[in-house]
């Protein structure tokens, strides 16, 4: 059995952001209906946090899943590398995705996973916001982080919504300027570079997608009618931003309580599984409803699920197979 090998450049030719949005949406629904399987990710700490004292400031996640609507299984092996890759000018995230035929166990494909990770991270925000804002098309956005994932957030949101104003804040002003120049053709309205973190917090959707390890976003800045997406792997917001939310929505409850913005409060027992109003997949499958968000402060914590990556990879594989793209290799030869 030959295994298909796909590079990042090849995948980019096969999948668009609109494709990813629809794949993510369908997978959320499938998961909510109990068909897709998404175990808790397994983390290998290579020194990004205590108590591991390795010097690499890195970690790797093993993220397996079975995608029922594609009848395909797979795993993403992905991590953030805060020292070596940054020193040589490479992106923080690196990843591979492997696909498996679930009956015979054949390894169908091995492909780059970094681009898919960034695309589905943007897509999941847009899809979740579409569930919450329903028929609303015009929105304002406050975005913290002008890096790669800040760009894919913008790509996805502008594919679904009319973004009237996008406030972007980054501690490196030059990064915010580059973001504005590159993203201006996509944003329907105006991109405003926020001079302070507070300036970007008054919006319909506030998104923190940063590697910050110290809380910089304050809950007192968030107004009613705001949906706050806390997406970083560490601590980006203060306790008030979490405890002051009227409803907490997670993609995967167990993962969200042990990593990212909820971790510290969960360790102190101030946030538990009972604190979660619903999961994203319950919203997608119609099992839970939020109603109007005008009088709410909603907190959404999508820490990232392997099923979304594997689902996108599955479609990329099928498209590549039909077009005769990709290289092949026989591991069992």
Residues 6+ apart with CB under 8 A from 192: 165, 166, 167, 168
153-186 pLDDT tens trace: 999 999 999 999 999 999 999 999 999 999 999 9
pLDDT(91) > 90: no
Residue 50 has pLDDT above 90, yes or no: no
Q: Contact 32/284 with Cβ under 8 angstroms?
A: yes
H or E segment to which residue 72 belongs: strand 72-81
**What are the tokens at 326?**
């990709």
Domains of the chain: 3-116+307-329 (3.30.1780.10), 123-303 (3.40.50.720)
Beta strand pairing call for 107-112 and 93-100: antiparallel
Q: Do 112 and 8 form a contact (C-beta atoms < 8 A)?
A: yes
Quote the CA–CA distance of 201 and 220 in Å, as a whole number. 10
**Residue 197, helix vs strand vs coil:** helix
Q: What is the mean pLDDT of the chain?
A: 96
- What three-state secondary structure class fits 263? helix
User: Which residue's entry shows tokens 């991109």?
Assistant: 191
Mean pLDDT across 19-35: 98
What lies within 8 Å, CB to CB, of 131 at 6+ separation is 280, 283, 284, 290
- For residues 306 and 29, give the distance between their C-alpha atoms in angstroms, rounded to a whole number: 15
Mean pLDDT of 62-69: 98
């Amino acid at each position: 059995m030959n295994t298909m090998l796909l590079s990042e450049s090849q995948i980019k030719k096969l999948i668009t952001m609109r494709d990813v949005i629809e794949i993510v949406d369908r997978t959320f629904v499938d998961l909510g209906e109990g068909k897709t399987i998404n175990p808790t990710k397994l983390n290998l700490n290579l020194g990004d946090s205590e108590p591991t004292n390795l010097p690499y400031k890195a970690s790797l996640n093993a993220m397996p899943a079975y995608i029922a609507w594609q009848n395909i299984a797979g795993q993403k092996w992905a991590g953030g590398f805060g020292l070596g890759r940054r020193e040589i000018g490479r992106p923080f995230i690196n990843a591979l995705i492997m696909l498996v035929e679930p009956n015979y166990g054949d390894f169908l494909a091995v492909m780059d996973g970094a681009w898919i990770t960034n695309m589905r991270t943007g897509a999941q925000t847009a899809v979740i916001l579409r569930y919450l804002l329903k028929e609303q098309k015009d929105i304002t956005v406050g975005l913290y982080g002008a890096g790669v994932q800040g760009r894919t957030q913008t790509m996805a949101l502008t594919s679904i919504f009319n973004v009237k104003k996008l406030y972007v804040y980054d501690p490196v002003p030059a990064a915010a300027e580059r973001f504005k120049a590159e993203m201006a053709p996509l944003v329907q309205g105006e991109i405003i570079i926020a001079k302070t973190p507070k300036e970007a917090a008054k919006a319909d959707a506030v998104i923190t997608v940063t590697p910050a390890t110290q809380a910089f976003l304050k809950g007192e800045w968030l107004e009613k009618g705001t949906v706050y997406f806390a997406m970083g792997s560490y601590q980006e917001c203060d306790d008030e931003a979490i405890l002051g939310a009227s409803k907490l929505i997670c993609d995967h409850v167990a993962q969200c309580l042990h990593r990212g913005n909820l971790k510290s409060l969960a360790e102190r027992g101030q946030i538990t599984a009972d604190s979660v109003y619903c999961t994203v997949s319950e919203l997608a499958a119609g099992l839970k409803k939020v109603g109007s968000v005008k009088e709410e402060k909603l907190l959404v914590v999508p820490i990232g699920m392997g099923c979304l990556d594997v689902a996108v990879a599955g479609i990329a594989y099928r498209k590549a197979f039909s077009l005769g793209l990709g290289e092949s290799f026989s591991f069992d030869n």
